[in-house]
Amino acid sequence: MKALALVVACAATGALLAGCSSTPKSSNKDDSAFTYLLDRKPNWTENKVDALPALPVASNLIPFDVSGNTPLTFAVDAKSLSVGDDGVVRYTAVVTSPSGAHNVNYEGIRCDTYEWRQYAVLNADHDGWDTVATPFARIEDSTLNGYQATLYQDYFCANRTPAASAKQIIDNMRQRRTAASQIH
């Protein structure tokens, strides 16, 4: 009985494979321009950044941890954080050295490509922005102070899209709810 079932299964598989190997009907369609779905480049357009946010104030800064190996401290200005419909999370980052020196940058992280860019930096007089339009660049995980990687992985992005609304991201950062801490 088992032998008969095996013969029937083999015959059915053989018939199925024979049907798959038949030659397709010829068509006049040119297949030379064929690209696989995952190889297609999407027609992505970044939202235009028309206005820069106000300079950050200490009461709006949300600190976050990057590495125990750095003496620098990192914070995001809650008032500047936005999530664009282009999949870019924009924010002001404040990096402070132990001596009190600050680097203040208005940046964006593109969730679908694991990239970041700068839009502006604090000017030399510390009273406004200097516009610097850098292109998107790959986020480097291995840099000692790779705070963009921390923001991407812990708060801003999930499954190559923004993790939540700006309000929810800010709330998660204030409560120190990282992506890893929310897995049950």
What does the angle CA 59 – CA 102 – CA 94 come to, to the nearest 5 degrees? 50
CA distance 174 to 160: 23
Q: In which residue ranges of the chain is pLDDT below 50?
A: 4, 6-8, 16, 21-23, 184
With residue 54 as reference, give the H or E element that holds it: none
Q: Residue 184 has what pLDDT?
A: 43
pTM here? 0.74
132-158 pLDDT, tens digit each? 989 999 998 777 668 999 999 999 999
Q: Residue 76 has what pLDDT?
A: 98
Q: Residue 43 has what pLDDT?
A: 85
Residue 20: both structure tokens together: 């798959």
Q: Are 150 and 64 spatial neighbours (Cβ–Cβ below 8 Å)?
A: yes
- φ, ψ of residue 27 in degrees (nearest 5): -135, 165
Domains of the chain: 58-177 (2.40.128)
Question: Mapped to the 3 state alphabet, what secondary structure does 6-52 carry?
Answer: HHHHHHHHHHHHHHHCCCCCCCCCCHHHCCCHHHCCCCCCCCCCCCC
